[in-house]
Structure 1
Amino acid sequence: MSVTDTTAAPTAPATPDDVPGWFFRVDREVFGWLLARQTAAGVTGDLLEMGAYLGRSAILLGNHLHPGETFTVCDLFDADAPDGDNSAEMTMSYRSTLTRRAFEINYLAFHPELPVIVQAPTSVLADGRIPADSCRFVHIDASHLYEHVAGDIRVARDALAENGVVALDDYRAPHTPGVSAAVWEAVFTLGLKPVLLTPEKFYGTWGDADAVRADLLARDWRGDGFRLDEEHFAGQTCHRLAWDDPSGRHEFAVRASSGAAPTRSLVRRVALDVLPPVATRAVRRALRAGRGAV
């Protein structure tokens, strides 16, 4: 079957690690820890994800949804993009791999019912459909275009309750300068307070950063094999967290333990785990040309 054939139902994943995506161990641990700490403290509120791809992070967020709370996922999936730049971005990065059908099958493999799905540009959330101060956690991983990310950040600011946390993906990737611009603009002009930086995500709050930081530091990250550093800049304090693995191959070990062949080439594994989809396809083509299909 061709990868562009979307008529046949995708196979349901056996484990969350089987869902394609770029949601790596350090961020899975941070999401789970912060959400669990909120629950332990009796903090309630809704969850919001802007940009879901095939559901890898949404599945984890759904694990922390409690009765009376709403989990909203907003993504274009296979709908038309609202403008030419966004359409080009979607075509370059995802083509036909991102479908609502695939997301729903993946999510329902681990949860009895779907979240509230808004299949539309994330800009529609600015119309007030997410009640103000209603969310305790917001994940932004949609468009990489500056104008769109800046709008998503404003939606998150209005949606988050006191001490709610926002996680922003690709804040430092070289192929996403628009995200970097929007994130740091929010820090210096919109009052967003950085709390934690990982290699892939920025975590911040418009509330009491010290309180969120205290929750974060309640865990012995170093004892669990992570590297944790404190940073100070422009009157701000935040921490950097990364998996303390000099080989840089911790994600590959996770994939191997879930059934992936450990003998695949390092180049291919790096492409699958780290690069954006368009670059991954380029690596695959190069490898096919050199050594046969991978």
Structure 2
Amino acid sequence: MTSADTVTATPVPRTPDDVPGWFWKADQEIFGWLLRRQTAAGTGGDLLELGAYLGRSAVVLGQYLQPGETFTVCDLFDSDAPDADNSAEMAMSYRKTLTRQAFEANYLAFHEELPVIVQAPTSVLADGRVPAGSCRFVHVDASHLYEHVAGDVLVARDVLAKDGVVAFDDYRAPHTPGVAAAVWEAVFDLGLKPVCLTPEKFYGTWGDAAAVQKDLLARDWRAEGFRMDDEQIAGHTCYRLAFDGPQPNGAPQTRTAPERSTARRIAIDVLPPFATRAARKALRAARARGTR
């Protein structure tokens, strides 16, 4: 069966959750909340997604596109990767499922027009084809390799408007340490300010993070089945948000383990994998000394 036959045989999605992908309840809510907040405040600007897979998050982003705004999606889809490491990553993660035809079919099931599609490595966006300062929201979910994500960080920084928000996927997954390295490097060295974290995504801004967080806290997330904690990270207040209820289509709940101590939850929910291992080693050493 060819990839085209596979697309033809795939049922038309009725809801965004029917589109294959990894875009869960907490992030759907955060995306919608951030974009509605911007629209209510009269903040216009374009939308940009780096890495789209089959369109699950793009479908949601397209719902918030306002008149006069442009939504740009950049993905290799079924094109050749720019280097051997990226090619190996694509083969391992997506095999033959990621095609532009499948993305377009899924997106058009919910929207009359396609976004602007750039079928190329995300590095091409450094050429200015998305104007500097033009975007209010950027979603980064492309390559997981450090060198590529570090480049995506710079693209996001350049295209975001003053108080625009960027979301980085897989910032803490065990199999994507390159994303963790690039994202936290941006916080420590490039002025990126954390706004909030979910189990899957890091949300930040080069603008006024405190203003976004103030509005974030005005919503009673806990009453809607979410849990929220706040942490201090390198002088930044950062809120962790997770959904405890059932996920759409039978996906696992966010919390699958008993409640942990604050220190252990911070290590598991916030830190990149290498730092989590170091924290666990330090805790074991402290217990051995009888200090904890």
Name the TM tier (shorter chain): 0.7 to 0.9
Aligned counterparts of 2:216 and 2:201: Cα–Cα separation in 1: 15
Letter in 1 for 2:249: R
Report the 3-state secondary structure (helix = DSSP H, G, I; strand = E; otherwise coil) of the residue aligned with 1:185.
helix
Aligned counterparts of 1:210 and 1:170: Cα–Cα separation in 2: 24
Displacement of 1:214 after TM fit?
A: 1.9
Matches of residues 88-99 of structure 1 in structure 2 within 5 Å?
Answer: 88-99=88-99
Matches of residues 266-277 of structure 1 in structure 2 within 5 Å?
Answer: none
Displacement of 1:7 after TM fit?
A: 3.6
Displacement of 1:111 after TM fit?
A: 0.4
Q: 1:147 corresponds to which residue?
A: 147
1:84-114 CA-to-partner distances (Å, cap 9, x unmatched) read 0000000011011000000000000000000
Pair 1:54 & 2:19 matched? no
Q: 2:287 corresponds to which residue?
A: none
Q: 2:34 corresponds to which residue?
A: 34
Report the 3-state secondary structure (helix = DSSP H, G, I; strand = E; otherwise coil) of the residue aligned with 2:78.
coil
Aligned counterparts of 2:159 and 2:56: Cα–Cα separation in 1: 23
Q: 1:16 corresponds to which residue?
A: 16
Q: 1:100 corresponds to which residue?
A: 100
1:263-285 CA-to-partner distances (Å, cap 9, x unmatched) read xxxxxx65xxxxxxxxxxxxxxx
Displacement of 1:16 after TM fit?
A: 1.2
Aligned counterparts of 2:109 and 2:215: Cα–Cα separation in 1: 31
Pair 1:133 & 2:133 matched? yes
Please, which moves more after superposition, 128-137 or 8-17? 8-17
Matches of residues 174-189 of structure 1 in structure 2 within 5 Å?
Answer: 174-189=174-189
Pair 1:70 & 2:67 matched? no
Displacement of 1:6 after TM fit?
A: 2.9
Letter in 1 for 2:4: T
Displacement of 1:15 after TM fit?
A: 1.6
Pair 1:255 & 2:249 matched? yes
Does the Cα contact within 8 Å between 2:51 and 2:140 map onto a contact in 1? yes
1:111-150 CA-to-partner distances (Å, cap 9, x unmatched) read 0000000000000000011101100000000000000000
Report the 3-state secondary structure (helix = DSSP H, G, I; strand = E; otherwise coil) of the residue aligned with 1:68.
coil
Letter in 2 for 1:219: R
Letter in 2 for 1:6: A
Aligned counterparts of 2:3 and 2:35: Cα–Cα separation in 1: 37
Letter in 1 for 2:128: G
Matches of residues 72-87 of structure 1 in structure 2 within 5 Å?
Answer: 72-87=72-87
Please, which moves more after superposition, 52-61 or 213-222? 213-222
Aligned counterparts of 1:5 and 1:196: Cα–Cα separation in 2: 38
The runs of 5 or more residues in structure 2 that have no matched partner are 253-292
Q: TM-score, normalised by structure 2?
A: 0.83
Q: TM-score, normalised by structure 1?
A: 0.83
Report the 3-state secondary structure (helix = DSSP H, G, I; strand = E; otherwise coil) of the residue aligned with 1:28.
helix
Instruction: Say what the alpha-carbon RMSD is for the aligned residues.
Output: 1.4
Q: 2:269 corresponds to which residue?
A: none
Displacement of 1:219 after TM fit?
A: 1.4
Report the 3-state secondary structure (helix = DSSP H, G, I; strand = E; otherwise coil) of the residue aligned with 1:228.
strand
Q: 1:6 corresponds to which residue?
A: 4
Displacement of 1:218 after TM fit?
A: 2.5
Does the Cα contact within 8 Å between 1:163 and 1:211 map onto a contact in 2? no
Aligned counterparts of 1:19 and 1:194: Cα–Cα separation in 2: 29
Does the Cα contact within 8 Å between 1:144 and 1:179 map onto a contact in 2? yes
Letter in 1 for 2:161: A
Does the Cα contact within 8 Å between 2:188 and 2:234 map onto a contact in 1? no
Report the 3-state secondary structure (helix = DSSP H, G, I; strand = E; otherwise coil) of the residue aligned with 1:6.
helix
Q: 2:111 corresponds to which residue?
A: 111
Matches of residues 150-165 of structure 1 in structure 2 within 5 Å?
Answer: 150-165=150-165
Once the two structures are aligned, what percentage of the paired residues are identical? Answer: 75
Please, which moves more after superposition, 200-209 or 211-220? 211-220
Report the 3-state secondary structure (helix = DSSP H, G, I; strand = E; otherwise coil) of the residue aligned with 1:255.
helix
Letter in 1 for 2:129: R
Does the Cα contact within 8 Å between 2:194 and 2:237 map onto a contact in 1? yes
Matched positions, count: 251
Aligned counterparts of 1:168 and 1:54: Cα–Cα separation in 2: 17
Does the Cα contact within 8 Å between 1:163 and 1:212 map onto a contact in 2? no
Q: 1:292 corresponds to which residue?
A: none
